[in-house]
Amino acid sequence: MTARGLLLLAMAVPFATHGAETGEELAERVCRDCHGERGRSDTPDIPSIGGFSEFAIIDLIESYRLGFREARTVTLEDGTENDMGKVLESLSEEEVEMVAVYYAAQDWQPHAQPSDADLARRGAQVHSRKCAKCHLKGGSVAESDLAILSGQWRDYLATEMGNFDNGTRRNDTLSDADKEALLELYVSAGDY
Ligand code: HEC
Ligand code: HEC
């Protein structure tokens, strides 16, 4: 074999083991319709995910795969319906890892949304007492290895926090007033 032939062979190996698509291409093809460009969602009831840690994304995806979390059906612009569960069925472990690495490399871009400053201040107190040991820095950083809360869409957060009641997500003994204040804190993205 010529030197050039060997070089081409060496270059072909990564493509052979990972399939033809990069994490970015996979994410753009499979996740972007719902989660937006680089994981910044344009749709208030779909969470942004760009900037979450790799661990958080894989862990959250596992919770759908294991059935701990039920995926909502989304109607796309072209009228077709889809949900996370179906999407994930088509992906291998390796592909999940590739999209997780891609989204973890993006910057978290908080959504600028109106919020109530007084309630947000109250929310910050509740957060530091009850939530801060896991959701670090007001839930604003990837290092917590959890979903980022600060600057997430209000509609989506309100739904998730509502789910605390019906047992589909972690339950904490929060009053409605506490929940309302926490929601304003996260929606304010720390700007209150
Ligand atoms: C059909 C729309 C749709 C597609 C496609 C989709 N998702 Fe989602 N995803 C959602 C919705 C809606 C939620 C939140 C509500 C729920 O649980 O259904 C969600 C939640 C998530 C979460 C949890 C976010 C959080 O804050 O807890 C992660 C992580 C995620 N998706 C990753 C992905 C990845 C990676 C892909 C591509 C492989 C993808 N999703 C494809 C609609 C979609
Ligand atoms: C012992 C650690 C811990 C504490 C304390 C904690 N959480 Fe969480 N929280 C988690 C884990 C684990 C998840 C599920 C994984 C994830 O969503 O990243 C989660 C998920 C969430 C979610 C869903 C986010 C999403 O988009 O998926 C919200 C909202 C949330 N927590 C709010 C709170 C609030 C508010 C408090 C305080 C009252 C709190 N958490 C206290 C560990 C904790």
Rounded to the nearest integer, the mean pLDDT of the chain is 89
Please give the span between the terminal C-alpha atoms of the chain, in angstroms, as a whole number. 67
Q: Residue whose CA is closest, atom 7 of ligand 1?
A: 84
The yes-or-no verdict on residue 184 having pLDDT over 50 is yes
Give yes or no for residue 47 CB within 6 A of ligand 1: yes
**Total Cβ atoms within 10 A of residue 67:** 9
Distance of CA 105 to the CA centre of its chain: 13
Ligand nearest to the CA of 48: 1
**Nearest CA residue ID for atom 14, ligand 2:** 146
pLDDT digits (tens, 9 = 90+) for 142-155: 999 999 999 999 99
- The type of residue at 80 is T
Q: Is 82 a pocket residue for ligand 1 (Cβ < 6 Å)? A: yes
Q: What is the pLDDT of residues 113-134, one digit of tens each?
A: 999 999 999 999 999 999 999 9
Closest-lying ligand to the alpha carbon of 161? 2
Q: Does the pLDDT of residue 14 top 50, yes or no?
A: no
**Residue partners of 77: CB distance under 8 A and separation at least 6:** 33
pLDDT (average), residues 84-89: 91
Q: Output the CA–CA distances (angstroms, integers) from residue 154 to 1, 10, 27, 61, 95, in the order listed.
A: 61, 49, 24, 21, 30
